[in-house]
Amino acid sequence: MKNCFAENVFLLWVTAIAFSPLACGDGCSKEQTRALLEIRNSANGLAFAGWDGRDCCEAEDIECGGTNGGVSEIILDGFGMAPSSSTWYPNVTLFTLFDELEVLYLVNMQIGGGLQPFCQLKHLVVLDLGYNRLEGIIPSCLGMIENIEEIHISNNRLHGNLPPSIFSKQSKITDFDVANNQLEGVLSSSTFDNASSLESLDLSDNLFHGNLPQSIFSQESKIMYLYAFSNQLEGVLSFSIFANASRLMHLDLSSNKDLEIETESPSWVPTFQLSYLNLANCSLNKKNGHVFPSFISTQFLLDYLDLSHNLIDGSVPWELLLLNTSIQVLSLRSNQIDGSLSFGCFAQTSSLKAFDISENNVTGSLPENIGHLLPHLFYVDMSSNALEGIIPSSFGNLSFEILDLSNNKLSELGKERKKWMKSKRVSYGVNDIADMCRWGELDRDLLTLIFLRVPEYDISRVRLVCKSWLAVMEDPFFKIMIVMDIVEKIRGEYEDM
C-alpha cells in the first residue's frame, strides 16, 4: 500500500509539472507578467501593443528560449510607429525580474535618462538602445556585464569620454557602436588594450580628436569593421598600422579634415582584403606628393572606394582600378587627377555601377568602347574636367539614371547622342541642358523629350541657362505632357506603397 501511495504521489507530481504554465511554454511568472504590463502602460503605446496580457511567450516582441523556458529576448522597435512627443523613462528594475534575459533591444523607443540603470541586467549578451534620447556619460559598468558581447548605443545624446575600463580584462565585446552622439576626448590606446574580441567598432559622428590607437590593430586583432568618420581626428596616421589586421573588410575614416593619412611610408604589406574603403575629405599622402594609394591595386575584393576631396595629384591606374577589381562604386571627385581616361587593351568588363571623377583635370577623349567595358554604369559624373571630342556611341547601350558631362570641352553632338537621348534612359539636369545649348539647335521633338526628363525642381532654372528654348516650355502640349508625367510618377509611388 505504501509503495502504491508513493507511486500515485509521484505521478501527481510529474503531472503537475507537465501541465504547469512554465512547462507549457508560458515563461512568465505572475510577477513577470505584471512587470510586462507595467512596461507596456508606461511606454506611450510603443511596447507590447498586441499582447493580451496572458501567455507572454505568445507576445510578438518576446522570445522564450531560456534554459528553463523563460524570457530570453525582448525586442521593441519604434520604427514605423507614430512618433511620440513624450519621453519614456523606463523602470529598468522591471527588466531584472527576467533572470534568463540575454537580448534587450529597445530601439527608437524615445527613451530618456541615463545608461547607469542598465548595468543591473547581469545576464545580457546583447544590449541595443540606439536611436533614443539617452543622455549623460557612458558608465564603465556596462562593459563589466559578464557575458555582454554587443553594445549598441548610437544616435543618442551621450557626451563625455569613453570610459577607460569599458573593455575589461575578461571582455567578450565583439560589437561596440556609439555613433552619432556628442562623445569627445582622445581615443586612448589603453582603453582598447583588452579589446581583443572586438570585431565591429563604430565611433563615427562624434567629437573625438587625436589619432587612432594602434592597439586596436595588433596581431591578435579580430577587427572587421571600423567606422570613425566625421570626427575631429588629427595628426599623421600611417596605414602601416593596419598591416596586421588581416580580417579588416570595412574602413571609413572620411571627413576628418585634419587627419593626414599616409599610405606609402613606411613600407608595409597589407594582409587584409577590403570590400569598403572611404577616405574622403582627409589629407591623403601629403608627405608623398598626394599620390594615388598604391596598395589599392592589391585589393581584389573592393566594391566601394571613395577618395574624393583629397588633392590627389597625377594620373590614376584606370586599368587596374576598374578592370582588375570587383569595384561597383568609385568616387574620385574634387582632386587634381590629370591624364586621359585610358583602359589600355583590356578586354574584360567591369562591375562598376557608379563613377564620379568630376572636378579634376582629366583630359583627352572618352574611350569609344567605354560602354562595352563598363556595361553596368547607371550613375556617371565627369563634369568639370577637360574632356574633348565626341560622346562615344557605346554609351547608347547603357541605362543611365544620372549622366553629367557638363563643363568640359566636348564639342560635337553626334548622331548617336541624338539617338540615345530619345531612348528615355537618361535623366537630364540644368548642366546637361547648358551644354546642349552650346552644342547647337536640336529639333523640337527631341527638346520636348529632354525637358520631360528634367527633375521638376530644375524646370524653373532652365531659362537661366537656355533662354532660346523658352518657346518649347511655353507650348501648351509640353505643359500637358509635364502634368501627365508627374501624375504617372505619383501613381507609381502609390502603387509601390
pTM, two decimals, is: 0.81
Q: Which residues pair with 380 in a beta bridge?
A: 355, 403
Amino acid symbol at 310: N
pLDDT in tens, 105-127: 999 999 999 999 999 999 999 99
* All three cell numbers of 403: 549622366
Contact 326, 302 (CB under 8 A): yes
First to last CA, the chain: 73
What is the spatial distance between Cα 129 and Cα 88, in angstroms, rounded to a whole number?
Answer: 13
What is the spatial distance between Cα 393 and Cα 486, in angstroms, rounded to a whole number?
Answer: 30
pLDDT in tens, 207-255: 999 999 988 998 788 999 999 999 999 999 999 999 999 999 999 999 9
Of 372, 319, 384, 315, nearest in space to 345 by CA: 319
Contact 275, 297 (CB under 8 A): no
**Is 5 exposed, middle or buried (CB count within 10 Å of its CB: 0-12, 13-18, 19+)?**
exposed
State mean pLDDT over 348-366.
Answer: 92
* All three cell numbers of 420: 540615345
389 backbone φψ class: left, alpha, beta (φ>0; ψ -120 to 50): left
What is the spatial distance between Cα 259 and Cα 148, in angstroms, rounded to a whole number?
Answer: 33
* All three cell numbers of 106: 529597445
Of 260, 264, 215, nearest in space to 241 by CA: 215
| Confidence tier at 66 by pLDDT (50, 70, 90) | confident
pLDDT in tens, 388-411: 988 888 887 788 778 888 888 876
Q: Is the confidence at residue 77, as pLDDT, over 60?
A: yes
Domain boundaries, the chain: 232-305
What is the spatial distance between Cα 169 and Cα 346, in angstroms, rounded to a whole number?
Answer: 53
Report residue 395: phi and psi, to 5°: -60, -25
